[in-house]
């Protein structure tokens, strides 16, 4: 039996917003430019940012789309740095040939970006672990039970996971 679309069960205005949100995420994953995705999807900027703050699924989709777009852009930067690109050569208004050019700058920028990402991920993990250790020690000092300490650490870990989406 075919699965029915959930948008058919929603009021027309809400169904339209859901469709616009899906289109927005699809377009955002292409180049990572929010303005382009808003324009192409017809989604209102305020609605998009309100949903970003209130709808966990939409927020996860938004950040996944940005990561996908970033991956595509980085891949293209590496391609241009490694394989180059053909730049047309014109003479008297007519194309007479082309020359392959390489972008060392794009390649260097991409490599530096990757190194910075590694360093920041390591620092975030270290800071998170330090914070969890401090909570454990302070919880014991204050006489909290292991269950209470674990509950606080769980909430902190959930907060850390939200930060890592950015």
Give the DSSP letter of residue 10.
Answer: S
Nearest Cα neighbor of 38 from 27, 29, 53 is 27
Rounded Cα gap, residues 2 and 68, in angstroms: 30
User: Does the reported pTM lie above 0.85?
Assistant: no
What are the residues facing 65 on neighbouring strands?
A: none
Tens digit of pLDDT at every position of the chain (166 positions)? 444 555 457 677 888 999 999 999 999 999 899 999 999 999 999 999 999 989 999 999 999 999 899 889 888 888 888 888 899 999 999 999 999 988 888 778 777 877 777 777 777 777 778 888 888 888 888 898 999 988 888 888 877 666 644 4
Nearest Cα neighbor of 47 from 13, 19, 9, 21 is 21
Per domain, the residue ranges of the chain are: 11-81, 103-166
Residues 6+ apart with CB under 8 A from 126: none
Q: What is the CA radius of gyration of the chain?
A: 24
CB 69 within 8 A of CB 30: yes
Rounded Cα gap, residues 39 and 53, in angstroms: 20
């Amino acid at each position: 039996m075919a699965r029915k679309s959930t948008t058919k069960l929603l009021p027309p205005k809400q169904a339209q917003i859901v469709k616009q949100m899906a289109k927005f995420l699809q377009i955002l994953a292409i180049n990572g430019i929010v303005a382009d995705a808003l324009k192409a999807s017809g989604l209102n900027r305020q609605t998009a940012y309100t949903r970003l703050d209130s709808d966990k699924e939409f927020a996860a989709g938004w950040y996944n789309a940005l990561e996908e777009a970033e991956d595509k852009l980085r891949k293209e930067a590496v391609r241009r740095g490694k394989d180059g690109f053909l730049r047309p050569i014109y003479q008297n208004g007519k194309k007479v040939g082309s020359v392959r050019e390489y972008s060392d700058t794009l390649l260097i920028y991409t490599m530096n970006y990757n190194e910075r990402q590694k360093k920041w991920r390591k620092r975030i993990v270290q800071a998170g672990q330090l914070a969890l250790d401090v909570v454990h020690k302070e919880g014991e000092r204050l006489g909290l039970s292991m269950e209470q300490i674990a509950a606080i650490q769980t909430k902190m870990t959930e907060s850390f996971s939200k930060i890592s989406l950015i």
